[in-house]
Amino acid sequence: MRRVGFVVNPVAGMGGRVGLKGTDGKVEEARERGAEPRAPDRAREALDSLASHADEVELLAAGGGMGARVARAAGFDPEVVTDPPEETAADDTRTATETFAERDVDLVLFVGGDGTAVDVAETLTESDPSIPVLGVPAGVKIYSSVFAVSPRAAGRIAATFERTESREVNDIDEDEYRAGEVHTELKALVEVPVAEEVQSSKQLAGGTVETLAAGVVASVETGTTYVLGPGSTLGAIKQELGFEGTSLGVDVWRAGESGESGELLVLDGSADEIEAALGERNVVVVSPIGGQGFVFGRGNQQIAPAVLRRSEVEVVASRRKLDGIGVLRVDTGDPDLDDDLRGWRKVRTGRFERRMMKVV
């Protein structure tokens, strides 16, 4: 019987859809902007998958919204090991993880982002570094290589893994991230289940994208609304369109009629602002994350399922980036939409050149 310690950061990812690029120190602001908790649904999806793939699981869970509540909803009868307050903090994650170590669990399955990964990893480094960890992705920024590519994959891996390997836990300063600066810092090395559906750490290296940007701009159609994602590749496209967009957020720009210049409708928008700016014809332009291949679900949660269902999708990337990826991935939070997005897709790599890539 596999013993799994389960802990949820209930506010992880709340800042993504409302354009805050993270939740550290921004929970109240996220709520004021209308953010809804994302982590509980992701946790439930992972536990449903765990239950369907495991013959027997003994689940130990943090109390309340940090694990026990969603575990019971998923049909488990967990051993509750902590009693956290309603308004939780990082110390509550650390306390739960330390207790899991004391109870000799076979795996710590956590739901959150890089900050939660750091809390779990640093605690295990001090208590029992031999215990493997696996993340259910729910945060805005996910730079660590300890997360499954989706909640369903996390449950499946937790139930079936046979061996582990050492992987990196990285984090960034969210205030710098919101200001457009990305500096990762290695926080810990932990054991992680070996599986194809464990994502790689994010690579920051880029390539020359001038001809690619020129190709996108040359294909712009009058009256069309363009939702432009984050990243340096999209930054080059925004400059080519004639405006200085946000490097780590999502902007909305509408092409003018014949002979007229375009109009910037939304700068660094939230999901609601982006959806409200959509027109009759909409195109979402995004570039995959280097090293991971995620097109949706990492760092661009503002491009919500409601926006994607009303839009065409164009993926752009340098050849160098695609060479280091292999496949593209999606994790929108809507499994049906993810299924719709999967399959072969043409990715623009230059002014005229495209490459076929599979979305998995």
- 4 or 56, greater pLDDT: 4
The residues with which 167 forms a beta bridge, in sequence order, are 190
Average pLDDT over every residue of 97-122: 96
Whether residue 123 is predicted with pLDDT greater than 90 in this model: the reply is: yes
> Would you call 335 helix, strand, or coil by DSSP?
helix
Average pLDDT over every residue of 126-147: 90
Is residue 186 very low, low, confident or very high in pLDDT (cuts 50, 70, 90)? confident
- Least trusted range by pLDDT, from 101-110, 129-138, 141-150: 141-150
Is residue 140 very low, low, confident or very high in pLDDT (cuts 50, 70, 90)? low
Q: Cβ(41)–Cβ(8) under 8 Å?
A: no
Distances (CA, A) of 255 to 72, 167, 202, 260, 283: 50, 44, 32, 8, 11
Instruction: Select from 11, 4, 171 the least CA-distant residue to 92.
Output: 11
Q: Average pLDDT, whole number, for the chain? A: 87
> Would you call 358 helix, strand, or coil by DSSP?
strand
Q: Note the pLDDT of residue 354.
A: 85
Whether residue 15 is predicted with pLDDT greater than 80 in this model: the reply is: no
**pTM across the whole model:** 0.64
Q: Cβ(318)–Cβ(209) under 8 Å?
A: yes
Q: How many CA atoms lie within 13 A of 41 on its CB side?
A: 10
* Strands annotated E in the chain: 2-8, 57-61, 79-80, 107-112, 133-137, 164-171, 185-193, 225-228, 251-254, 263-266, 282-286, 294-296, 312-316, 329-330, 343-348, 354-359
Using CA atoms, how far apart are residues 162 and 205, in angstroms rounded to an integer?
33
Q: Is the dihedral of CA 286, 115, 165, 40 positive or negative?
A: negative
Task: Give pLDDT tens digits for 209-220.
Answer: 788 888 899 899
Neighbouring CB atoms inside 10 A of 71's CB total 23
Using CA atoms, how far apart are residues 97 and 228, in angstroms rounded to an integer?
39
Q: Note the pLDDT of residue 185.
A: 77
> Would you call 168 helix, strand, or coil by DSSP?
strand
Using CA atoms, how far apart are residues 5 and 94, in angstroms rounded to an integer?
12
Is residue 19 very low, low, confident or very high in pLDDT (cuts 50, 70, 90)? very low
